[in-house]
Amino acid sequence: MDREEKNSGFILIATLCIIALITLLILTSMQHVLMYYKAINRHKLQQREFFQHEKLALQLANTPLIESHCVEHSDAINTVLQRLSASEGCHFIDQQIQYYYLIEDLGEFPCLVTRQQKSTRHIRVSLLQRSNNQDYLLQIRYLKPLPYLSCLSQSKVVNSGVGSWRYLSLVKA
């Protein structure tokens, strides 16, 4: 064998190695793009579920407070979380998704007034969405306007509607 045949064999092997390396890089890039699209789709689904969850919580907040086992007159934010995790409270199913909820009537706050000079009544809606491997809890503090009540200290202006909220993802053990 002369020297040219040895070099052509080496060039062939080097070319095949470079082509294999480029193919692996392309396949890896394609896999990353696929994982990125899966993550985006999962994020969009979670966002859609969150907005549906929030819509249901706002509907519950706007219903008249009825004296029942679903309405409590206390301020026990973590106790409510424990009760809902234990499947206590009121239950309903919407679009084949199970929900548990409790409404806390936090009372009237005469010194927290709206821009229209109305006092506010605060309620907290805790809505737990049940899933197979994870539960999602949305708690909304909702401020409803009332006729003005006399305030013994300085008034503070707040917006009616959602005052605050927290959204928790609870992984099942």
Question: What's the mean pLDDT in 65-86?
Answer: 77
- Which residue in the block uniquely carries the two structure tokens 């539960």? 135
Question: What's the mean pLDDT in 132-159?
Answer: 85
For residue 108, pLDDT over 90 is answered with no
Question: What's the mean pLDDT in 43-66?
Answer: 87
Question: What's the mean pLDDT in 27-54?
Answer: 93
> Which of the four pLDDT bands, split at 50, 70 and 90, describes residue 80?
confident
pLDDT value for 3: 61
Domain limits of the chain?
49-171
Strands 90-94 and 97-113 turn out to be: antiparallel
pLDDT value for 67: 57
Strands 134-146 and 156-157 turn out to be: unpaired
